[in-house]
Amino acid sequence: MTALHRKLWRELRLLRGQVIAIALVMVGGIGTMVMAQTNYAALAETRALYYAEYRFAEVFARVKRAPITVLETVRAIPGVREADPRVSGYVMLEIGGFDEPITGQVVSLPRPGDPGLNQLFLRAGRLAADGAEVVVGEVFAEAHGLRPGDSLVAILNGRRQWLTISGIGLSPEFIYQIRPGDAFPDFEHFGVLWMAHEPLATAFDMDGAFNDLALTLTRDARQEDVIDALDGLLAPFGATGAHGRELQLSHRFLDEELGQLEVMTTLFTAIFLGVSAFLLNVVIGRLVGTQREQIAVLKAYGYGRLELTLHYGQLALLMVGVGVLPGLALGAWLGRGLANIYTGFFRFPYLEWSLQPFVIALACGFALAAASIGTFGALQRVFRLAPAEAMRPEAPPVFRASLTERLGLGRLLDPAARMILRNLGRRPLRTALSVLGIGLAVGILVMSRFQRAAIEEMIDVQFGFAQRDDFAVTFAEPASARAAFELADLPGVRAVEPFRSAAVRLRHGHREYRTALQGLPDGGDLKRVLDAELRPADLPADGLLLTDYLADLLRVRPGDLVDVEFLEGHRRTLAVRVAGTVHEYFGVGAYARRETVNRLLGEGGTVSGAWLALARGARAGVVSELRARPRVAAVTDRAAMVQSFRDTMAEMILTFTLVATLLAASIAIGVVYNASRITLEERGREFASLRVLGYTRREVRALLLGELFTLAFLALVPGFLLGTAMVWVLVQGFSSELYRVPLVISPPAFALAALIVLVATALSGWLVCRRLDRLDLVAALKLKE
Amino acid sequence: MGEIEVHALRGVDLKLYAGEFVVLLGASGSGKSTLLNILGGLDAPTSGTVECRGHALTGAGDSALTRFRREHVGFVFQFYNLIPSLTARENVALVTEIARAPMAPEEALELVGLRDRMDHYPAQLSGGEQQRVAIARAIAKRPDVLLCDEPTGALDSATGVLVLQALERINRETGALTVVITHNAVIARMADRVIRLSDGRVAGIERNASRADPRDLSW
């Protein structure tokens, strides 16, 4: 080991407090980055593998009923490689001992000789044979403790039928199991089932026919062309419009999650990189400052400027290097944890989580980037330092009256406060960056509380103001309004509000969007649309209301005409005026009075279903009554759905909050501890002098702590603003057609953030005060400035 | 603050010879340090030329000057400028590791009489001892030129004499051109030649008939 290397190690040991502080921040940064990157890779790669291995379809189409002979024509469409005809539909399920409504989506298994797309992975048991057998989706089976051999009741097209569970399965089509139109998954009240083709076709009156089509394309096919051809071909059979994977529900939610991971990675990586670089900048900058003469001597003795620059560069690399391994370890731990949470929501046969070499390279890259950004200036000074000049001592620092004093408020300050302010004012950039660093910690803390608050707000608005029904009942086929109002006679039903819902494609210019047009009862109380201020809005006598997000997507403004292509009924396209926009957090849609929708469809008082308000304690009775009605295809229990969602999200939110809090605390401690160590180094002599002059320990401590707490307090308001800005970035990144997250920050979030940062400040202060107390008065005074 | 051009040295014309012990005498601000820096290749004059054994130092680039210092020059500074995180031996090794034909650090420390203090850190050494470590560090590479900037400036008379003895012995035993700058006229008595600087000019050069023994000096 050369003498220069020895110098390196000894200095590293001397700086160990600061090295640890920087490492803490590095560990946080690398940890979150690794956590997010590994999960991004795991989700994206596992999905790709799963799709390929289990032959996930590329294009999907639904029809009312098409004879199986049409298939030949479908397969002849240029670009179509394989086509799987399926039967699928929604059914009500009953499981012994569970009296809440359950909706099932039953999908047929491929017939012998079919290409067999969207294959099942069997976690247990075997595929369903012809007859009354069924494969149950894993999440649903887990939620109810179902095992092969158990049985359940399905109301198939109005007939109650006992089905025996032959296996527990997973499908690339339902990695994320969510009921279409729902805001979040509800594993207890919604399940996917697979049955053999024949019995299912018989049950749904689909003998020799299909109502669902899954296709793969040839390599050179253009998806849009195939979709156009399919829509034309299937239109006579009641097609609702084919679509690709991008509109497939499970696929879209996964895409959404991947997008969010990307936003989070970018945001957190940028913050941690910035803070680490800043801390390194202060520490190495200070070191180079105090070692000016040493550098000059080494240069005088013939050390080259590159050699010396490398020497300090190595020091910086060692300092950041300390954080790499623990950072990777933390990232691996958090990454596995997050992957575990993900496997609860996203069901793959396996989730290939691994710490791949590129992630390790990324972590090293992070450290290298922090070192380069943070020490570039200092290393440049080492490189450029003219040895002859450096022999002369550095000019004494220039002090000036602080702003407070110049404003004439100086008289209000005691000498100690004046010293604190002048010292902070002497290095305005460093002070500003310290404030920014602590502010980022405050910001992350504010942000960490955002998720819970936002979800509560979304639930409050959606289910408190907009959707206030107890049960949503959907009919298998559009029915007369009388069928809905009959439900009012059921015991325990307080109110019934029928609705008409129709699949439409909205078009404006070259932009189009597939959604549901919902016809709501005028003056209804169970489903209301809300204006921008979240007040219930009146339904226009004529025309549509669009979700504001959808209006933006389509670039339409109130007063514009939009083309409404009905994907059911007469299937015509009509130009309808947009009367206004409404605000909602979940999904996007078009709304009108029920009469308007009926009129546009050219039908009488037809309804698709009804919202019910129930009397207290009437739930179970109403459920069993509804199960007995063949017309009822699905019943959704709002309260149960919200509760189940809260339960599923609770762990995720807790984990997120905890991790973010730890990260923020590491930043706060890192920044404050460093600021105090630097202050102690720079002013140790001054503090010692004060002690010699008769200041007590407590008084000197007050000076140091005063400076730290001044920094922390200065950081609070900028921190609140930064937190709000971070939340804004997340809100922007998270908003999609599936949901928009509101920007809500509760005052307690600010208070808690402030409290945690002040506690972290006190903790670092305490650590440094122990050093201050050990200050050797005589030695400190002998030190050459 | 406007820039004011100050000429630290003007019209200096000097020849220094191998093996000589030269004392540069002058008040503070007379240009001594600037001259020393230029001789050592730490600084470059705005005009004029400097040559060492036929090699031009003026106009040489940073790497050439670095090599010149690494191979030919030893420096001793008023404030010792030891690396505090390294022991005496390691401070010397810092230089021997990059020199071409150095003596062992132990040998250099022996020459300045610090053999038994080798593993002490600078903070554990007295001022005189620190300066002697600095001298050991300067001579360990067997420099052709030994440049000392106020080597006794921070020391009391008795300790200063010890340091001067070390310098004299090295000059005698290694034959290095030794240039000592000082404002202390007493030291001039131990030189072969005394060069007086005043206001950036050479005010006079004297040759001593004989070199005084440092032990006979005091101030």
The alpha-carbon gap from B187 to the nearest alpha carbon of chain A, in Å, equals 23
Closest chain B CA to residue A292: B81
Task: Name the residue facing B43 among A4, A305, A388 (closest C-beta).
Answer: A388
The alpha-carbon gap from A368 to the nearest alpha carbon of chain B, in Å, equals 26
The alpha-carbon gap from B193 to the nearest alpha carbon of chain A, in Å, equals 25
What residues of B are in contact with residue A784 (Cβ under 8 Å)? Answer: 79
B81–A293 CB contact, under 8 Å: yes
| Per-residue model confidence (pLDDT) at position A754 | 93
The alpha-carbon gap from B34 to the nearest alpha carbon of chain A, in Å, equals 8
Pairing of strands A190-195, A98-108: parallel
B86–A387 CB contact, under 8 Å: no
Q: Which of B28, B94, B131 to substitute to test the interface with A, most A CBs within 10 Å? A: B94
Sign, CA dihedral A652-A653-A656-A657, equals negative
Beta-carbon contacts of residue A280 (< 8 Å; ≥ 6 apart): A22, A316, A319, A320, A370, A371, A374, A375
B37–A11 CB contact, under 8 Å: no
Measuring CA to CA, which residue among A286, A75, A71, A381 is closest to residue A197?
Answer: A71
The alpha-carbon gap from A298 to the nearest alpha carbon of chain B, in Å, equals 8
What the block records as the tokens of B81 is 């400028």
Closest chain A CA to residue B38: A388
Query: Residues in chain A whose beta carbon is closer than 8 A to a beta carbon of chain B?
Result: 2-4, 6-7, 10-11, 14, 293-294, 296-305, 386-388, 391, 784
Measuring CA to CA, which residue among A394, A413, A392 is closest to residue A402?
Answer: A413
Beta-carbon contacts of residue B35 (< 8 Å; ≥ 6 apart): B9, B12, B24, B181, B197
| Per-residue model confidence (pLDDT) at position A412 | 64
Closest chain B CA to residue A14: B85
Q: How far is CA B209 from CA A627, B193, B206, B213, B214, in A?
A: 126, 9, 9, 13, 15
Distance CA(A224)–CA(A115), nearest Å, equals: 22
| Per-residue model confidence (pLDDT) at position A77 | 95
Q: Which has more pLDDT, A201 or B155? A: A201
Q: Which of B42, B46, B142 to substitute to test the interface with A, most A CBs within 10 Å? A: B42
| Per-residue model confidence (pLDDT) at position A785 | 40
Query: Residues in chain B whose beta carbon is closer than 8 A to a beta carbon of chain A?
Result: 33-34, 37, 40, 42-43, 62-63, 66-71, 73-75, 77, 79, 81, 83, 85-86, 90-91, 93-95, 97-99, 137, 149
The alpha-carbon gap from A373 to the nearest alpha carbon of chain B, in Å, equals 26
Q: Which of B34, B50, B81, B146 to substitute to test the interface with A, most A CBs within 10 Å? A: B81
What residues of A are in contact with residue B69 (Cβ under 8 Å)? Answer: 299-302
- Please, is B154 exposed, middle or buried when counting C-beta atoms within 10 Å of its C-beta (0-12, 13-18, 19+)? middle
| Per-residue model confidence (pLDDT) at position A400 | 64
Pairing of strands A88-95, A151-156: antiparallel
Distance CA(A662)–CA(A260), nearest Å, equals: 21
**Interface size, chain A vs chain B, as Cβ–Cβ contacts under 8 Å:** 78
Asked if residue A567 lies in contact with residue A504, where contact means CB atoms within 8 angstroms, the answer is yes
Task: Name the residue facing A302 among B69, B77, B91 (closest C-beta).
Answer: B69
The alpha-carbon gap from A673 to the nearest alpha carbon of chain B, in Å, equals 23
The mean pLDDT of chain B is 86
Task: Name the residue facing B85 among A10, A296, A305 (closest C-beta).
Answer: A10
pLDDT per 10-residue tile (average), chain A, 785 residues: 89 89 89 90 92 95 93 94 93 88 92 89 92 93 94 86 95 91 83 94 92 94 94 89 91 89 84 87 86 88 90 92 92 90 87 87 91 91 82 60 65 72 80 88 88 86 89 89 89 93 92 91 90 90 93 94 89 92 90 94 91 90 86 85 78 80 84 84 78 80 88 93 90 82 87 91 88 72 51
A303–B66 CB contact, under 8 Å: yes
A303–B98 CB contact, under 8 Å: yes
Question: Three-state DSSP class for A592?
Answer: strand
What residues of A are in contact with residue B124 (Cβ under 8 Å)? Answer: none
Asked if residue A480 lies in contact with residue A604, where contact means CB atoms within 8 angstroms, the answer is yes
- Please, is A775 exposed, middle or buried when counting C-beta atoms within 10 Å of its C-beta (0-12, 13-18, 19+)? middle
Tell me the Ramachandran region of residue A330: left when phi exceeds 0, alpha when psi lies from -120 to 50, beta otherwise.
alpha
A14–B98 CB contact, under 8 Å: no
What residues of B are in contact with residue A16 (Cβ under 8 Å)? Answer: none
Asked if residue A77 lies in contact with residue A229, where contact means CB atoms within 8 angstroms, the answer is yes
Question: Three-state DSSP class for A1?
Answer: coil
A388–B137 CB contact, under 8 Å: no
The alpha-carbon gap from B208 to the nearest alpha carbon of chain A, in Å, equals 30
Task: Name the residue facing A301 among B86, B95, B149 (closest C-beta).
Answer: B95
Query: Helices B88-96 and A3-14 meet at what angle, rounded to 10?
Result: 130
The alpha-carbon gap from B38 to the nearest alpha carbon of chain A, in Å, equals 9
Closest chain B CA to residue A783: B123
What residues of A are in contact with residue B33 (Cβ under 8 Å)? Answer: 391
| Per-residue model confidence (pLDDT) at position B1 | 36
Task: Name the residue facing A3 among B66, B86, B149 (closest C-beta).
Answer: B86
| Residue B2 pLDDT grade (very low, low, confident, very high; cuts 50, 70, 90) | very low
B42–A304 CB contact, under 8 Å: no
| Per-residue model confidence (pLDDT) at position A644 | 77
Asked if residue A86 lies in contact with residue A105, where contact means CB atoms within 8 angstroms, the answer is no
Closest chain B CA to residue A8: B85
Q: pLDDT digits over B126-142, tens only?
A: 888 998 899 899 889 88
Q: pLDDT digits over B177-215, tens only?
A: 999 998 888 999 999 999 998 888 888 899 998 998 988
| Per-residue model confidence (pLDDT) at position A397 | 60
B95–A2 CB contact, under 8 Å: no
| Per-residue model confidence (pLDDT) at position A768 | 86
How many C-alpha atoms does A491 have within 13 Å on its Cβ side?
6
Torsion angles phi and psi, residue A186, rounded to 5: -145, 90
Q: Which of B66, B78, B126 to substitute to test the interface with A, most A CBs within 10 Å? A: B66
Distance CA(B162)–CA(A604), nearest Å, equals: 117
The alpha-carbon gap from B216 to the nearest alpha carbon of chain A, in Å, equals 31
Task: Name the residue facing B69 among A11, A14, A300 (closest C-beta).
Answer: A300
The alpha-carbon gap from A684 to the nearest alpha carbon of chain B, in Å, equals 17
Torsion angles phi and psi, residue A484, rounded to 5: -75, -45
| Per-residue model confidence (pLDDT) at position A675 | 84
